[in-house]
Every structure is written in C-alpha cells, then in structure tokens.
Amino acid sequence: MDESIEIKERLREYILAEFLHGESPENLKDDTPLLTSGVLNSIDTLNLVTFAETSFGIEVEAHEASIENFDRIRDIVSFIEQKKAASRSKA
C-alpha cells in the first residue's frame, strides 16, 4: 500500500474513533476542516499530535502543531511525509 494512503487511513480511523464517535467514515473527507470547524479542540489536537508522533515516528515541535499542519487530513499527511523525508535525509 502507498505510504501516504496508509498514513491517511490510519489518521482517518483514529479521528473517527477518538473524536467523531458514530460518524460515518464517508463524512470525514481529506479536506474536512478539523480545527477551524471546531471538530477538534486544543486538547484533542495535542492528542492527535501525540498519535502522529508515536504512530509515524516523527517529532512535532510546538510551533508545528498549527492550523497549517493539522486542520485537514491532507495537511496532516503532507506534514508527516515532510517530517519523515527530513529525518531520512539526516540519516
């Protein structure tokens, strides 16, 4: 499976299970706003950041846990891929 698809599906499953109990998976699109629409509050965002760090082996700096990186699934996937690529290039 393509890595970005795998990341996207794991994020979608986590968000549905933790924050959108009972919501139909079809309603959580790649571009559904999570922070700006109020789906996630600040504590939820911290939990999502922790999930991303532990699940995908990245480290998120405080300033990176922003609307630009964590508002939509597609933004989160892109951010995770960038962090993973950066860590591979350092190795």
CB 33 within 8 A of CB 71: yes
Whole-angstrom Cα distance, residue 58 to residue 20? 24
Dump the DSSP string for 7-72. Answer: HHHHHHHHHHHHHSTT--GGG--TT--STTTTSS-HHHHHHHHHHHHHHHT----GGGSSHHHHSS
pLDDT value at residue 90: 78
| Tens-place pLDDT, residues 10-68 | 999 999 999 999 999 999 999 999 999 999 999 999 999 999 999 999 999 999 999 99
CATH number of the domain enclosing 54: 1.10.1200.10
Helix (H, G, I), strand (E, B) or coil at 84: helix
Count: domains in the chain? 1
pTM for the full predicted model? 0.93
Domain hosting 39: range is: 3-20+27-90
